[in-house]
């Protein structure tokens, strides 16, 4: 099984970007954590980051033919982009929305997510670990497994 993991704007700056909110873990560290978890679960992953909305949409479209599931942290586009919501809805892939921070405990403009209504589930507030949790969740969904995971 193949999972596409997409990261949106400003997430390339993780590690130095507002560490009091997002932690000290870099995006490269998160990719490494995901690779390790994917290996344990027997999943292949592709891990991408872009600062451009249209590129994210192209990557979601590409996942339609390449992947069995999608994990996405769309950054601020989460709160603004109907186009991203439409893209996720169009590809009909099980999609887990991830945020490092708890968006519901922050400014009110972050409480709205255009992705949540078209996502299988949402993980937020657990920092980098949220990506690993998302892999567990999507694996369980795809294999319909309730048993303990590696």
Least separation in angstroms between residue 95's CB and ligand DQA is: 15
Of 64 and 110, nearer to ligand DQA (C-beta) is: 110
Given 4, 59, 81, 99, the residue binding ligand DQA (CB under 6 A): 99
Q: Give the x-and-dash track for 40-79 against ligand DQA (CB under 6 A).
A: ---------------------------------x-xx-x-
Task: Based on the residue annotation, tell me whether 131 is a catalytic residue of this protein.
Answer: no
Tokens of 111: 């409480």
Burial class for 87, CB neighbours closer than 10 Å (0-12, 13-18, 19+): buried
Residue 34 touching ligand DQA (CB under 6 A): no
Task: Based on the residue annotation, tell me whether 22 is a catalytic residue of this protein.
Answer: yes
Q: Which of residues 1-20 bind ligand DQA (CB under 6 A)?
A: 10
Given 103, 119, 122, 134, the residue binding ligand DQA (CB under 6 A): 103
The residues binding ligand DQA (CB under 6 A) are 10, 73, 75-76, 78, 99-101, 103, 110
Residues acting as catalytic residues: 22, 99
């Amino acid at each position: 099984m193949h999972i596409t993991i997409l990261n949106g704007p400003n997430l390339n700056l993780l590690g130095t970007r507002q560490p009091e909110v997002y932690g000290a873990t870099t995006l490269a560290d998160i990719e490494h954590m995901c690779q390790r978890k994917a290996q344990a679960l027997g999943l292949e992953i592709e891990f991408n980051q872009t600062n451009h909305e249209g590129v994210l949409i192209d990557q979601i479209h590409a996942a339609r033919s390449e992947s069995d599931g999608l994990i996405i942290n769309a950054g601020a586009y989460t709160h603004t982009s109907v186009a991203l919501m439409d893209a996720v809805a169009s590809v009909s892939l099980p999609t887990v929305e991830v945020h490092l921070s708890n968006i519901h405990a922050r400014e009110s403009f972050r409480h709205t997510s255009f992705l949540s209504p078209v996502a299988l589930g949402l993980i937020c507030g657990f920092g980098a670990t949220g990506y690993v949790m998302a892999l567990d969740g999507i694996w369980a969904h795809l294999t319909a497994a309730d048993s303990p995971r590696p």
